Chain A
């Protein structure tokens, strides 16, 4: 049976991708995700796949575009500045209806920032980033195990919807070592014969593009895309609710911040405070309904992020003034500290 292994988050993502049938990986070095390309160079090529160290993140995402056109499972990874460079390509992937998996192991910004963990690319990940009306599923793993599991899922969802899927982690997730067990990949197969390029026999030619200058065509196709985004919203939202049933205050946090909040929930409960945690596993689609429902019994929400506050806007939209929202954020590579959150929690609970 599957055995327990000890791995860094970055390596677990890479290994899970290879197990998911990844054929082509393209990337450009940037800390703190360098273990991913290194793992691919060492292991993917041995499995007959392609690894290229591209000349830039722009080239890498466009190599993904090309490989995906042929029906091959393709992937790239980077960290914040590099992900900024990929935004045009991500928009094109959506526009051309191409599956792809993209990993962002976030670091402090803006600009070159630093190589410390951060969650400051939330807006970029869920509110567009690139141009045009588009959406993509964004997974935010909390543990190395979950990073591996969600990577496997990401490949299936990319193929199912013919849309890029983003895995959003941070330097802590990428660098920390944890034990995990690789699950069996789903084994789902996707028929791409109606659109993929190459090996054409007795079929009309196929075109992968995202342009039409004829009147109304691009509008029509945006409405088509919307149907897909609506379906994702309906079916793909993932969230964990931890001890929310009797909670007077509910934390909302994802990824590393959620890990920290979980510890605060456990400690504060020992001290007699009834707290809970809503942890979005997908930040798009966002668990708005879960938060909204929670306002019936909870009147205090406490958002914790490794940024100046980005997801908090989506929490506000879900709460719609029916409860108070509190915030603790650390930008630029700062990591929220449990004692600081606990102190702020106690002040809130005093009122």
Chain B
């Protein structure tokens, strides 16, 4: 019989710590698959954020470093400079990367650190219970913008991170993908793999932003949340490549 599916042995046999319908689990799985496919499990250092995915270590059979909220790109820089031949994978949420840690990601990219970043944009602070994120859409509700985000009330505009980083010369590759359906999951898988291969070829900073649902904090069913990613998020955050081979696309 032909085997069509196999458990990735980087995943420990543990229950997922994530809520039903959350995108983190599937994105973790793709990161693990890419690491396995390039045969680097023993050589990988997974840089966890502070956010829901801080719990990644509970079921990733990888060396994991968990620094302070938002500072993961700086810590990843330290790891990579000390061990240049290791595979360093940065994994961050939108509060971690685009609010408290904005300076660290901008400068890690600007230095052209040879690392791979997976940025999970779920437009909300998941771990702390659904506060407004820098990427929360206009009109989207959160506990700290109960009437819906309103830039006219001084709540700011949703930040398009790929577009923001695109102009930095240290950025080698950037793509925004989504996990709202099978086709886009496959595109995400390819983008993550490419980001990791770039690092192994010592090309520089690779950045993959993934639009991802958070049904519990959005107050939606998992199915509705996927629709929200497709119709609302992808409309504001265009999917596709932003930088390839160091050139703006």
CB distance from B17 to the nearest CB of A (A): 10
Option from B61, B68, B77, B79 in Cβ contact (under 8 Å) with A92:
B68
Q: Is B184 in contact with chain A by the CB < 8 A criterion? A: no
B60 cross-chain contacts in A, Cβ below 8 A: 205
Enumerate 26 A-B pairs (CB-CB under 8 Å) in ascending A order. Answer: A52-B77, A58-B104, A59-B74, A60-B74, A62-B68, A62-B71, A62-B104, A63-B78, A63-B81, A64-B78, A66-B75, A67-B79, A70-B79, A70-B82, A70-B83, A72-B82, A89-B68, A197-B63, A198-B86, A199-B42, A201-B42, A205-B63, A205-B64, A208-B64, A208-B65, A210-B66
Q: Is A206 in contact with chain B by the CB < 8 A criterion? A: yes
Known contacts A59-B103, A208-B66: does B79 contact A200 (CB below 8 Å)? no
Q: Is A241 in contact with chain B by the CB < 8 A criterion? A: no
- Structural contact, B71 and A211, CB atoms closer than 8 A: no
CB distance from B67 to the nearest CB of A (A): 5
Which residue on chain A has the smallest CB distance to residue B81?
A: A50
- Structural contact, A67 and B78, CB atoms closer than 8 A: yes
Tier of interface size on chain B? 20 to 34
Option from B68, B107, B111 in Cβ contact (under 8 Å) with A88:
B68
B81 cross-chain contacts in A, Cβ below 8 A: 24, 50, 52, 63, 67
Which positions 204-229 of chain A face chain B at CB distance < 8 Å? 205-211
CA distance A68 to B83 in the complex (A): 11
Q: Is B214 in contact with chain A by the CB < 8 A criterion? A: no
Q: Is B48 in contact with chain A by the CB < 8 A criterion? A: yes
Known contacts A69-B78, A200-B43: does B104 contact A59 (CB below 8 Å)? yes
Q: Is A177 in contact with chain B by the CB < 8 A criterion? A: no
A69 cross-chain contacts in B, Cβ below 8 A: 45, 65, 75, 78-79
Chain A interface (Cβ < 8 Å from any Cβ of B): 23-24, 26, 50, 52, 54-56, 58-60, 62-72, 74, 88-89, 92, 96, 197-201, 205-211
CA distance A210 to B63 in the complex (A): 15
Which positions 107-158 of chain B face chain A at CB distance < 8 Å? 107, 111
A-B contact count (CB 8 A): 129
B111 cross-chain contacts in A, Cβ below 8 A: 52
- Quick one: CB contact mask for B195-215 with A, threshold 8 Å, 1 for yes? 000000000000000000000
CA distance A58 to B102 in the complex (A): 12
Which residue on chain B has the smallest CB distance to residue A73?
A: B82
CB distance from A52 to the nearest CB of B (A): 7
B82 cross-chain contacts in A, Cβ below 8 A: 23-24, 50, 66-67, 70-72, 74
CA distance A26 to B71 in the complex (A): 14
A89 cross-chain contacts in B, Cβ below 8 A: 68, 71
Which residue on chain B has the smallest CB distance to residue A58?
A: B71
B78 cross-chain contacts in A, Cβ below 8 A: 24, 26, 62-70, 74
- Could you say which of A26, A50, A197, A206 has the most chain B C-beta atoms within 10 Å of its C-beta? A197
A52 cross-chain contacts in B, Cβ below 8 A: 77, 81, 111
- Structural contact, A65 and B63, CB atoms closer than 8 A: no
CA distance A23 to B86 in the complex (A): 16
Which residue on chain B has the smallest CB distance to residue A60?
A: B74
